[in-house]
């Protein structure tokens, strides 16, 4: 079993109620082996750790590696004026440090990965429970620590000497400026992807948070794992995206009925699998709420189609959704990851379309009748399957290529598809990112949404089985529509924006580099123009304004851009 255990201070009133609880935790307490620390040969984290022969690893392989890294890591709140060298020397008394980095949210934090798990135990053995006179302390140990040691502070340095890794994206105006300085639309699309995608450090932090939360859940389920899914790991995550997690109890050993020796279970008042999931999430949610270090605003949303516990993890700044028994979502994450790995244009296009959609209010962080990022990603995949020749294969084709070990049936749904990337042969399609983006807008500006459904299993539109405005077949639970929530207004908004962007893209003014002015500000062009406030959206907000033909509105927009540019030159 993974060893852990730490000191985090729990401030609760009424210590007596917790004695039983603590005994339970102590049963899993880690015993230090007391390593002699070698001098740290630490490296800061590089951007890319892919080391597979062809640079590609399957998602399950990657998850295992990341989880192992996370188990050997600690999260330390530190003083902003800490001296980096002294800080590392202090920690390396417990063992070699493999990687580390600093970041800032509500204070300065360090993520430190030791070469050995023993070092984590050694470090935790020296950690003390803080004394606060007015509150009771629960000495529950976690790998979230606080290092306040005056001897590690650099008094000569007025400013923080620690180099912090960004954990959020650049603001949209800055993005527009930076893109406007790129020399081609293809470069703009690649730049946007680079600015927005999760960094190596942010991915490590996500896995570490899962690992820290697993330590808490393990009080109830000692061999459980908490795995990230969704955009944190599917390759389409943007800095700042939520952290979707899944409590995996299937990896627990004890599934060998031949032994004749069975664990005793009592399924109290649980008459369905859903009810069991709700009970599990209910107790884990309670636990996070009362004892989870850094977990704030815990809400148990147990009556949702997919029950979940939602909370903020303050030290990382992540908005977290914890689910259980959600293996289909894990499979769709794996599928999206695979599509992203098959051709680099897939990720770039998804990032660009997601950014464009968010800027124009097509998607939102608030649940509602909006198109979700997941639906939008499936729409991009479908569009890429429809190219001639296709850029990515259909899900049916990936299923045909699957070997016996790939077979996967979840709750009666066939979730089988090939896991070996090298078996997937893709015909050569040489379209540029610029062409693809332009074609994407044209494709959906004219798609027969009223009659047809989007289906990435077949790679062909199908007749709509129900009357929802937008129908996108769930790739694995094929009777479900993943965009059931979308209403006509939102779909119309999306179509109007596609029409506008398609028009803009076909206009010479938009796709011509405008140059940089004397004050080093660049006039928006190309992709940057598509991220400017939309005329379509503007008109919708001012209902009283008469609706002009789309071409007139766009012409007006282009004129205003042209005038602005001329104003700068004169
Ligand atoms: P962002 O969080 O918006 O960056 O994207 P995301 O892909 O993580 O989406 P979200 O957090 O909404 O959902 C997480 C994952 O759950 C998705 O990647 C899908 O794998 C899965 N998922 C989301 N919505 C649906 C849905 O309607 N049906 C199914 N089957 N799975 C979904
Ligand atoms: Mg998500």
What are the residues whose beta carbon lies below 5 Å from ligand 2 (ion)? 230-231, 242, 244
**Quick one: which of 115, 287, 277, 312 has its CA closest to 215?**
287
**pLDDT tens, 227-270?**
999 999 999 999 999 999 999 987 766 666 677 777 766 656 66
Residue 521 has a pLDDT of 81
Which of the four pLDDT bands, split at 50, 70 and 90, describes residue 140? confident
Task: Give the C-alpha separation, 488 to 468, whole Å.
Answer: 9
> Quick one: which atom of ligand 1 is closest to the CA of 474?
30
Angle between helices 373-385 and 327-342 (to 10 degrees): 40
**pLDDT tens, 274-328?**
888 999 999 999 999 988 999 999 999 999 989 999 999 999 999 999 999 889 9
Task: Give the C-alpha separation, 220 to 119, whole Å.
Answer: 25
Task: Give the C-alpha separation, 471 to 451, whole Å.
Answer: 9
Q: Whose CA is nearest to atom 18 of ligand 1?
A: 230
**pLDDT tens, 493-548?**
999 999 999 999 888 776 676 666 667 788 889 999 999 988 765 544 444 444 44
- For residue 374, the CA-to-ligand 1 centroid distance in Å is 5
Q: Which of 24-38, 130-144, 238-252 has the lowest mean pLDDT?
A: 24-38
Which of the four pLDDT bands, split at 50, 70 and 90, describes residue 134? low
- Kind and range of the H or E run holding 428: none
Residue 527 has a pLDDT of 94
- For residue 373, the CA-to-ligand 2 centroid distance in Å is 8
pTM, 2 dp: 0.84
Do residues 386 and 443 lie in contact, with contact meaning Cβ atoms separated by under 8 Å?
Answer: yes
Do residues 122 and 32 lie in contact, with contact meaning Cβ atoms separated by under 8 Å?
Answer: yes
- Kind and range of the H or E run holding 366: none
Ligand 1, residues at Cβ distance < 6 Å: 229-231, 234, 237, 241-242, 244, 328-329, 332-333, 372-374, 474, 477, 482
Residue 40 has a pLDDT of 37
**pLDDT tens, 46-101?**
434 343 445 578 899 999 999 999 999 999 999 888 888 899 999 999 999 999 99
**pLDDT tens, 375-421?**
999 999 999 999 999 999 999 999 999 999 999 999 999 999 999 98
Do residues 124 and 6 lie in contact, with contact meaning Cβ atoms separated by under 8 Å?
Answer: yes
Helices (H), 373-448: 373-385, 395-400, 433-445
DSSP 412: T
- For residue 68, the CA-to-ligand 2 centroid distance in Å is 22
Burial of 268 (0-12, 13-18, 19+ CB in 10 A): exposed
> Which of 374, 457, 470, 478 is the best mutation target for the ligand 1 pocket, counting ligand atoms within 8 Å of the beta carbon and taking the most?
374
Residue 559 has a pLDDT of 58
- For residue 482, the CA-to-ligand 1 centroid distance in Å is 9
Q: Whose CA is nearest to atom 13 of ligand 1?
A: 230
Q: 17 pLDDT exceeds 50?
A: no
Q: What is the Cα Rg of the chain in Å?
A: 26
> Quick one: which atom of ligand 1 is closest to the CA of 476?
30
Beta bridge partners of 514: none
Residue 51 has a pLDDT of 38
Tokens matching residue 453: 């459904």
Share of the chain above pLDDT 70, in %: 78
Burial of 148 (0-12, 13-18, 19+ CB in 10 A): exposed
């Amino acid at each position: 079993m993974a060893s852990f255990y730490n000191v985090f201070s729990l401030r609760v009133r009424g210590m007596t109620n917790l004695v039983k609880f603590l005994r339970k935790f102590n049963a899993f307490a880690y015993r230090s082996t007391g390593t002699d620390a070698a001098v740290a040969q630490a490296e800061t984290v590089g951007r890319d750790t892919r080391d597979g022969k062809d640079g590609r690893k399957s998602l399950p392989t990657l998850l295992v590696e990341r989880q192992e890294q996370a188990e050997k890591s600690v999260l330390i709140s530190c003083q902003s004026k800490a001296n980096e060298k002294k800080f590392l020397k202090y920690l390396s008394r417990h063992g070699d440090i493999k990687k580390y980095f600093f970041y800032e949210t509500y204070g300065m934090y360090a993520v430190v990965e030791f070469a050995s798990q023993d070092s984590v135990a050694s470090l935790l053995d020296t950690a003390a429970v803080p004394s606060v006179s007015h509150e009771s302390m629960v000495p529950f140990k976690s790998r979230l620590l606080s290092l306040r040691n005056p001897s590690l502070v650099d008094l000569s340095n007025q400013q923080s000497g620690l180099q912090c890794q960004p954990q959020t994206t650049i603001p949209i105006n800055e993005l527009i400026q930076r893109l406007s300085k790129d020399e081609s639309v293809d470069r703009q699309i690649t730049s946007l992807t680079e600015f927005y995608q999760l960094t190596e450090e942010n991915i490590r932090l996500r896995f570490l948070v899962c690992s820290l939360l697993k330590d808490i859940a393990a009080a109830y389920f000692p061999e459980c794992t908490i795995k990230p899914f969704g955009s944190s790991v599917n390759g389409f995550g943007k800095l700042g995206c939520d952290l979707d997690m899944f409590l995996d109890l299937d990896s627990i050993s004890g599934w060998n009925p031949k032994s004749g020796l069975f664990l005793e279970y009592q399924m109290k008042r649980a008459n369905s699998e859903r009810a069991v999931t709700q009970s599990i999430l209910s107790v884990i949610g309670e636990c996070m709420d009362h004892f989870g270090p850094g977990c704030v605003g815990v809400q148990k949303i147990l009556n949702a189609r997919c029950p979940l516990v939602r909370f903020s993890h303050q030290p990382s700044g992540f908005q977290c959704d914890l689910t259980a028994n959600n293996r289909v979502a894990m499979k769709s994450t794996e599928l999206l990851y695979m599509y992203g790995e098959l051709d680099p244009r897939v990720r770039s296009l998804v990032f660009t379309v997601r950014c464009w959609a968010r800027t124009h209010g097509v998607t939102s962080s608030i649940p509602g009748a909006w198109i979700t990022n997941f639906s939008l990603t499936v729409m991009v995949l479908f569009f890429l399957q429809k190219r001639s020749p296709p850029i990515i294969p259909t899900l049916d084709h990936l299923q045909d290529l699957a070997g016996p070990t790939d077979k996967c049936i979840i709750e009666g749904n066939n979730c089988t598809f090939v896991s070996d990337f090298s078996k997937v042969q893709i015909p050569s399609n040489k379209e540029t990112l610029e062409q693809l983006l332009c074609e994407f807008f044209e494709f959906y500006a004219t798609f027969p949404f009223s009659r047809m459904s989007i289906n990435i299993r077949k790679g062909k539109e199908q007749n709509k089985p129900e009357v929802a405005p937008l129908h996108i077949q769930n790739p694995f639970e094929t009777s479900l529509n993943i965009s059931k929530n979308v209403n006509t207004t939102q779909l119309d908004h999306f179509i109007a924006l596609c029409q506008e962007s398609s028009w803009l893209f076909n206009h010479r003014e938009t796709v011509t580099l405008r140059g940089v002015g004397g004050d080093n500000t660049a006039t928006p062009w190309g992709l940057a123009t598509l991220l400017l406030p939309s005329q379509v959206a503007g008109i919708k907000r001012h209902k009283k304004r008469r609706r002009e033909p789309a071409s007139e509105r766009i012409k007006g927009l282009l004129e205003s851009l042209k005038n602005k540019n001329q104003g700068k030159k004169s």
